[in-house]
Structure 1
Amino acid sequence: MHQLTTRILIALVLGAVTGLALNQWAPDLFQSLNQYVFDPAGNLFLRLIMMLVVPLVFLSIVVGVSDLGSPKQLGRMGLKTVAFFLGTTVIALTLALTVATIVQPGDPGLLGEGLAENYEAAEAPPFIETLVNIIPNNPIEAMSSGAMLQIIAFAIFVGLAMAVLGEKVTTVKSFFKQGNDIMMTLVTFVMKFAPIGAFALIASALGQAGWSAVFSLGAYMLTVVGVLLIHVFGVYSLLIYFFGKMNPLTFYKGFFPAMTMAFSLSSSNATLPLSMKIAQENLGVSKQVSGFVQPLGATINMDGTGIMQAVATVFIAQVYVADLSLMDMVVIVLTATLASIGTAGVPGVGMIMLAMVLTQVGLSPAGIALVIGVDRLLDMLRTSVNITGDAALAVIVDRSEKRRGALPSHDSGDV
């Protein structure tokens, strides 16, 4: 994975230099290379990503929900955990949309008037209609048309039914898990082409837009990083202090080794053994709570990924000169929150989820070309945010259960 990161970063630099050099000194040569090399290679990579969206979302959410266990058996701890994760995801998305709308990192018309003219914004349906339409008339039709909210809703229903039936559907559950494993393998396979895709996409984007794209892309990166920092050191600190009754400085000092490991691996799942060990040894979280909350968080808690998706969607909409209505914002929050239930904690899945969100609000997935070149850097940061949220809730639930007398108390670092 470190080799892939290095290759993507090298491809990003080479693509940026190539695109800017051709834009400045050989625009005619750029047009030929873009038509026969950059654009086809970039589109091929995007098609590989889009190929995985529907099956990955459906299978991963079914597996994620079914793993929650019987709703009757989830009990108090399960309800707390799920409610907290979904709640912080909504906060993260709302914060990201607000900051991105205020900062406006996307330079309107960045890629030229032709791109803006080719984009036709669909009129947003009424809010009630959007809520009603979440339930599909025909799940198969929803999958074929890529209606992501409907696909997510159906996947949640299937996952809940499997959780209720338990051992009666062991064979079916194994089928879905194996199918999800296949999709994860395909994601890993597709990401091997990420350096080529990153080179082609960034060279094409910068070759068309020139230096103005560099400054706008820098504004996008700073916006994402800024919101991630606000969410971690603002939102999480307040939750840890008021609900976890722990000094946030004690928390971050104790959990820092796991955060650095997540930064280097860009994978919540790969960091999970270390993050659980550190939460138990450095933060005083019981094994029962840590063993339940943190693995579940690696499946359904993706605040950092949601922040990237929200900022990227606003950024791409601004570049396309497309206005996002309040209804579009609500759809982004709904789609990304529900999708977080099944977003796998492995590198590369964030881009697939972004393609899903863009499609849901009527934006072309080709807009991924604008952000994929720098996504690997941001992926490292948002993975650290994701696992920090898991550990923060583990502390909160652990302290809550101990106050109820459900667990032995051996706290440290109280406020």
Structure 2
Amino acid sequence: MSNATRILIALALGLTLGIIAAAQLPKVGDTMAYWLDITGSLWLNGLRMTVVPLVVALLVTGIVKSAEAARAGPMAARTVAWIVAMMTLSAAMGALLTPLFLTIWPMPAESAEALRAALTTAPAVAEQPALRDFIVALVPTNPIAAAANDSILPLLIFTLVFAFAVTRLNQEPRAQMAGFFSALADAMVIVIEWVLKLAPIGVFALAFVVGERSGLAALGALGHYIVTMSMVGIVIGAFAYPVAVFAGKVKFTDYARQIAPVQAFAVSTQSSLASLPLMLKKAEALGVRESTAGLVLPMAVALLRVTGPAMNLAVALYVANWFGVQLDGFDYAFAIFIAALTSMGAVSLPGTVSFVTSIAPICLALGIPVEPLALLIAVETLPDIFRTTGNVQMDVALATAIEAPEKEKANAVSQPG
């Protein structure tokens, strides 16, 4: 049994026992909820303690790798430019789609209220600073203090500047710095994997507390969350079709026919990397040369997870809506920036790991409680299906888009008159 399955079972069991305890043995249920709340909070803190060092390490290594890839040649540079544009547009689409879906189909008010009351560990929403103070604080005077205080946005800005400075170093010191941060990221991933092995215990504890305090309202809220996130992923993934048709110059029917087996394989494995051999085969069937597919698709798997920014931002905005956090235009702009940036750094991580490291920085930067993430990670297996299928669709579409101008050049050379 996979750990994701155990987490899902722990969620269902915790909610069920919590609801039963509240109805049949309320005093016993209250006592158990008190101690399980402590257990769940300890587990959540175990996840949170890795976020800052992992995000910094991934951002530095991601920028260094992207810069090195861009130096490999014009096609590689063009691929990196496409990837950056796609990740940014994905985050922007998430900022548009999530409020739209929540307006069309809002979370039931009673569910939201019950869950807010159940998650007593979630802190009160902090008051937003004045505009001048907010802008001035974007450049940290002390990056270490920014990290210690979970001031994610100033920390990311410093890390971004530092990472680009690393790319300007000579090859040997650049490799040393990249190696250090790569090792740091690997170590943090191991720590997170240890913490996630305890996830069934932590999720059970938190689910029991939520079930005991909110009752059946929790079930409706989780179902609403799954559908909303899945809808965002479906819409983002669907943009692969126009990319292949208009930028890749392939017929809609040809792309749909060739991508269908890749989609089916991605659903069964929920892994873009495992789908890579089939993606290479189907890209060549769409007219992409082996040399182009062999360069673009591994880069796409390593650097591009197009549904990530949209769906990660959607989770943060969903929790903000859930807890009544009011966001303005500046908040949305910085949320798009952070979602694109952290998702690009986390593309090579397992889904459960990147779920925390990509979404928690958005929440921390905007004053959104991160506590609900510990519950939502338990049901991420279902929206993750649409994450993976959308990613492989866009990877193949990107290969066709990169190949299209190469075909035009070849045709121009072969037909000089």
Give the shorter-chain TM-score range: 0.7 to 0.9
The answer for the alignment partner of 2:339 in structure 1 is: 336
In structure 1, runs of 5+ residues without a counterpart are 410-415
**What is the identity percentage for the equivalent residue pairs of Structure 1 and Structure 2?**
26
Residue in 2 that maps onto 1:354: 359
Q: 2:372 maps to what in 1?
A: 367
Which amino acid in 2 is paired with 1:364?
A: P
| 8 Å CA contact 1:100, 1:314 repeated in 2 | yes
1:11-410 aligned within 5 A: 11-37=10-36, 39-70=37-68, 73=71, 76-104=74-102, 105-106=106-107, 107=109, 108-112=112-116, 119-123=124-128, 126=131, 133-169=137-173, 170-233=175-238, 235-268=239-272, 270-271=273-274, 273-343=276-346, 344-348=348-352, 349-405=354-410
Specify the SS of the correspondent of 2:250.
coil
Are the structure 2 counterparts of residues 118 and 141 from structure 1 closer, same or farther at C-alpha, using a change threshold of 3 Å? closer
Secondary structure of the structure 1 residue equivalent to 2:125: coil
In 2, Cα distance between equivalents of 1:251 and 1:136: 48
**Structure 1 letter corresponding to 2:274:** T
Q: Determine if contact 1:265/1:380 at 8 Å carries over to the other structure.
A: no
Distance in 2, matches of 1:131 and 1:391, equals 40
Q: In structure 1, how many angstroms separate the alpha carbons of the residues matched to 2:246 and 2:307? A: 22
SS at match of 2:56: helix
Q: Which runs of 4+ in 1 moved over 6 A?
A: 114-117, 406-409
Change (3 A) 1:45 1:405: farther
Supply the RMSD in Å over aligned alpha carbons: 3.0
Q: Residues of 2 paired with 1:345 and 1:283: CA distance?
A: 29
Please state how far the C-alpha of 1:180 moved relative to its aligned partner. 2.1
Tell me the CA shift for residue 396 of structure 1. Answer: 0.7
TM-score (norm 1): 0.86
Q: Do 2:15 and 2:207's aligned partners in 1 also have CA atoms closer than 8 Å? A: yes
Aligned-residue offset at 1:72: 7.3
Kindly provide the CA deviation profile for residues 76-113 of structure 1, in whole angstroms up to 9, marking residues without a partner as x: 43443333323333333333333332333443423356
Structure 1's 346 and 72: CA in aligned 2 closer, same or farther, altered over 3 A? closer
Say which is worse superposed, 134-143 or 339-348, in terms of deviation: 134-143
**How far apart are residue 124 of structure 1 and its match?**
5.6
Measure, in 2, the Cα distance between the counterparts of 1:10 and 1:40: 21
Cα deviation code 1:215-249 (max 9, x no counterpart): 2221111111111111212x222222111112344
For the Cα contact (< 8 Å) 2:22–2:212, is it kept in 1?
yes
Distance 1:115 1:21, change over 3 A: closer
The count of residues paired between Structure 1 and Structure 2 equals: 404
